Every structure is written in C-alpha cells, then in structure tokens.
Chains A and B, each alone.
Chain A
Amino acid sequence: MPETRELTLAEAVREAMAEEMRRDARVFICGEDIAEAGTVFKVLAGLVDEFGTERVLDTPISEAGFTGIAVGAAMTGMRPIVDIMFGDFSTLVMDQMVNQAAKVHYMSGGKWKVPMVMRATLGATRRSAAQHSQSLHAWFCHIPGLKVVLPSTPYDAKGLLKSAIRDDNPVVFFEDKMMYKLKGPVPAEDYTIPFGVADVKRAGTDITIVATSSMVQVALAAAHMLEEHDISAEVIDPRTVWPLDEKTLIESAKKTSRVIVVDEGYGRYGVTAEIASVIAEGAFFDLEAPVKRIGAMHVPIPFSPPLEDATVPNEQSVLQAAKALCGR
C-alpha cells in the first residue's frame, strides 16, 4: 500500500523542493528571508538546515537582480528556483522574466535554455492593501515562452512543482497565500503532474465552473450549495493556465452547456477572459448562454475589510451567477 499523508499546501510545496534538491544537485533556491527565516510564510522552514546557505540562498531586497542572476545561472547549468515573496513584486522582475527568461530560447534559435522556476504568491483578503494582495498571474500568461502554474490543492502543488523544476523552460508558479494552511492527501512516493492537463474536481451535468487556485475551493463550496437548488455543477481546475487544457474545458462545456469561469485576477484582459473565449469558440453551438466571468473587481485592492471583501469572488457570487445562468 503506497503511503499517503495529510499535508498542508505549504508542506507539500516544501517537500517538492526538498525532494528535487536531493534528486538534483543543480537545483537551488534564492530569495529574501528564505534561509533561517524560511520565508515570511514559513514555507521553506527547515530547508536551510538540510541544504545549507549556498542552496537556500538569502538575497538582498533586489528582486530584479537575483531573478536576473537566476536566468543566467539557469542558462549555464543550474536549475534555480526564485522566491518572490509577494506576487505584487512581479513588477520588479518583469524585464528579467519577460524580455530575458521568456525569450532566450527562441532568440537563440533554440540553442540556449532557461530551466528556472519563479515562485510567487497571490490572493487578497489578508488586509494587506493594494501592493501586497494582487493576483498578477495573467501578466505572465500573455508572454510566449513562459508557463504558468496555479495549484489549488496540496497534491497538485507538489506534483506540479516537481514538473516545474524538471521543466527546461521558465515556469511561473503562483501559490495563494491564504491557502498555505489548507490540508489534503499527498502520497509519500515520487510523482509528478504533467502541465496542460486539467483536473475535474467534481463531476456534474448542469453547469461547468472553471476555477483556478483558491477559487477552486470557492467553486466547490458553491457547487455544494447548488445541490440544494437541484443544480449539478461540474468544477474543473485547469491547474496550468498556460499551457491550457482546452479540450477538457470545451468538452465539459459541450456537456453542460453553461459555463462560469472564476479566477482571482482581474477579469478584464485576464485569465477568465481567455478561458471564456476558448470555450465560446470551441463550444459555441452547445452553449445555452454566454460564458460568465467572475474575477477581482477592477479596482486596486482596498485595505478596509468591508471594501476588500467586496472585491473578491466568493461562494455567494458564484452561487448567484450559477443560479442566474440556470434560470433559477
């Protein structure tokens, strides 16, 4: 019997990195307060004890600099994992990720490659205001050459992060900081989850809810409430927003004929916009209604709790949208 334990998402992420570092001496992590402090969310706690400060490398507060160093190290034989404390600081590393990491392989005619992972956090409702709460993953999806991963469970987080570390391309891996304590079963033996394969988190027949990251939990809670209204909801997590498993999404849409897409990033020009259009194109003749998108309100994230709560999708907003879509 293979062993399975309950781990938190933080533990699953940590275990993935520890196992990959044991497996491959080229893997190292760099970022702010990651060694003795184990990151501000304690995700890396204890790793420095096993791997030392050269492989769990504390950096100055120089995001552009250490991300650039990771790009160079990745091109020349290492497999760096960059830790960006808050996804909001993506702004500071954009040139390194977008103009350098993403393009090196193509620009060199396929001669150089950049096997690196950038890990960052996303997600609001921590009362951290406009510069520490954003979900900016869509920015990276826009760029050819980058892959973008959004795990929603400890199991997925571990398997996807291992794939990310073994991938020969720059991969951006976003963890919802509000989900670090979420628990779930994780096998003890080695496994990976391939990119571009969506996971049906709950099967259903009346409506499809496509959800990413922590919105998967929101969608599952809404799906549960929808049972009371005799609506059977299917919840699908793409797991990687690029590459995107278009086939699974379109097939589910064809089956249920109604679709909601929920993602914590901004809806406009965002992940929900892309997925909605993929489904509209692929399942047009089977849809009973236009695909409904639910994302963060199009405002900077406010500090004040009643305002902040109003900006984020929740069970109620998904429930109401689903009922409306099903004519209830």
Chain B
Amino acid sequence: MTTAVDRPKTQSEVEAQQWLHMYRRMVMIRLFEEQVNDLYTRALMPGLAHLYIGEEAVAVGVCEALEPNDYITSTHRGHGHCLAKGATLDKMFAELLGKEAGYCKGKGGSMHIADPDTGNLGANAIVGGSAGIATGAALSAKRLKTGQVAVCFFGDGALGQGLLYEVMNMASLWKLPVIYVCENNLYNEYTHNSETAAGDMLTRATAFGLHALSVEGQDVRAVYQTAKAVVDRTRSGAGPAFLLCNTYRFMGHHVGDINREYYRSKQEEQMWKTQRDPIKLLSDWMMSQNLADRARFDQIQSEVKSEVEKAVQFAIAAPYPAPDKVDQDVYA
C-alpha cells in the first residue's frame, strides 16, 4: 500500500504504522530464534537455548505498551522479551556465543541477558526467580516517584513457586506498579500444566486483589490493547495487575528437545503453527483490512533477515573475553 505524503496521516494509517512496527519486532524475534537454532545445530553456540518462536505476540504486545524506561524481568525463554524491549541483535548474538561484545560480556549467556539501557533487569534461569526483583523495581518506582512500571514475565510453570504468591500479596497491599505477565504455553518443560496447576490460574491473582485479565496471546493486537489498558491503569496508581497470555511454543523446550511426541502430539503442534501463528495472524488481518499488502510484509522480512545475518556475522567474528576477565565483576 502506498501512502500519500502530502496530507496528514489518518488515524488508521497511524495505527497501521504501529502494527507494522510490531510486525517487524515479531519477525525480528522469529528470525533471531531461527538463527539461534541454526547456530546450535552447527555447534557454534555453547550450551542450550530456549526458543520463543510462537510466543512473539506476548513480548511484543506487552513491550509496545511500555515506555523505554519501564522495567522488565525475563526468563530462561527470554530472547523475545529482551528484543521486544529494545535489545540489539548484535549484542544479543554476541552474548549467546559467549563473546566479550555481548550484553553481559559473555558472562551471562542465553538465560541471563540484562541491559539497564532498555530497562531490562535481567533474564533469569530460576523459574519464578525474578518475581521479587520485578516487585522490588516497582517499589523503587513508587518510592522515587518516577512513574515507571515493572513487568514481570514468567511461564505457567512459575505458578508453582511460592515466591510469586508472597510478592503478589505485598504488591497488592502496597499498591505497587507491577504487572505480572504469565505466558501460559501449556507446558512446564515436558509436563502439561493440567498436571501441575490446580484450580484456576487467574483467580490466584484476584484472590490477592490484583486486577487480573486473560488474553489471546497469539493475537498481538489483543495483547497490545489489553496491555496498554493495564499498564495505564497501573501507572496511574491503581495497583498491580496480572495478565494471563494464552500462547504456545512452537519448538522444543530447548534447542535439544527434538522428539516431543511422548508429551505432546504432532497434530497439536501443527494446529498452532498453521492456525495460530502470531506473525501470520497479524499480516492476514492487516491485508484483510487493506492496511498493507503482501509486498510490504515481504520487504520487512527481507530487511530483518539481512539485519540478523549481519548481526550473527558480527558475533561469530567477535573475540572471547580474555581469561583474566573471569574474576572481574564479582563485587561492585
């Protein structure tokens, strides 16, 4: 679609720009993760990584509703959150390859990306481990009157951790500006959450007086609109919120989890991949509304693809940290 430049943009054109921006972010995460998988299969990446493919709409929809200086905490499946919050591809790849140029100088790796510049308090390899940190950041924001909010991303598996309930209680008592975003992708590693989570997920939050909503996590528009309302409400001082995003990881629990049929069927995966792909859902909708055409999406795809390729080349060529860096950064 071509847009006339000599007249002010209409509301729908502004919106189209925003949806296209989110489309680009989702594609960036998707292609980043595909590249990570490739690096792993070619034995170029040390260790393992937990891919976010399929869940892109959650991170992108939520982070789009945030200000640059708002805080997030992330998880073992955290690449999507970091990129959605503004991390750059080159430093992400470099960190995953253990290079000095990475976000954490190679010390953190895939599960520990942290970046103060984008409000990223850190990804966390302890399930539920960041619930306290996010809530503490909200406490700072409130005490320091900065107007920031903190978003705590976590998986449905973290609903098993007692820490979450302790901090939700305090967040509610103290009206802290924190939003707990539960990414319900149905599985905790290799176990379906019907075997790990009793009762209702949402009422766990309402029991503590949190404002709790559930949203279709494959639909970035729905995630964004809901998150925007929730963030505005929380920022205004109305207290913490809980956002349950229903989603699905298309790939294995981690890059090495190839044979999955003992815990979930190929048909189930196929259904989500073909019918609930967040990237395709957005482009289909935009085309149906005549907000953009196929060529526009193809162009974004190829632009992002070359950015990703450039970034990965940078990371591969970058040097490892010198061995004497090993005992630096232990104490501040």
A and B found bound together: yes
Main secondary structure of the interface of B (DSSP, over half): loop
User: Which of these, B126, B129, B326, B330, contacts A310 with CB under 8 Å?
Assistant: B326
Q: Name 6 interchain pairs, CB-CB below 8 A, sorted by A.
A: A32-B189, A60-B196, A62-B160, A127-B46, A129-B112, A304-B109
User: A143 at the A/B interface (Cβ < 8 Å)?
Assistant: no
Residue numbers of A with Cβ under 8 A of B are 32-33, 36-37, 40, 58-62, 64-65, 88-89, 92, 126-132, 297-300, 302-307, 310-311
Given A36-B262, A126-B47, A304-B109, answer yes or no on A311-B126 (Cβ-Cβ < 8 Å).
no
A-B interface, 8 closest residue pairs, ranked by CB to CB distance from nearest: A303-B109, A127-B47, A304-B98, A304-B106, A60-B160, A127-B46, A37-B190, A60-B196
Given contacts A40-B189, A303-B98, A306-B321, contact A61 B127 (CB under 8 A): yes
B190 contact from A33, A304, A307, Cβ within 8 A: A33
Q: Report chain A residues within 8 Å CB of B327.
A: 297-299
Known: A37-B191, A61-B160. A307 touches B321 (CB 8 A): yes
Q: Known contacts being A297-B327, A302-B106, is A64 close to B162, with CB within 8 Å?
A: yes
Report the minimal beta-carbon distance from A95 to chain B, rounded to whole angstroms: 11
- Is the CB–CB distance between B106 and A128 below 8 Å? no
User: B196 CB to closest chain A CB, in angstroms?
Assistant: 4
Known A60-B196, A299-B330, A302-B326: A37·B263 in contact at CB below 8 Å:
yes
Binding site for A on B (CB under 8 A): 46-48, 98-99, 104-112, 124-129, 157-162, 188-191, 195-197, 262-263, 320-321, 323, 325-327, 330
Q: How far in angstroms is the closest Cβ of chain A from B168?
A: 16
Most buried by B among A65, A128, A300, A304: A304
Q: A37-B189, A303-B107 are in contact. Are A131 and B262 (CB under 8 A)?
A: no
Q: Which residues of B contact A129 (CB under 8 A)?
A: 47, 107-112, 125
User: What is the bound-complex CA distance between A33 and B111, given in angstroms?
Assistant: 20
Query: In the docked arrangement, what's the CA distance between A89 and B320, Å?
Result: 29
A88-B126, A299-B327 are known; give 4 further A-B pairs, CB within 8 A: A37-B263, A59-B160, A61-B128, A132-B111
Q: Known: A37-B189, A303-B46. Is A60-B197 also a contact (CB below 8 A)?
A: yes
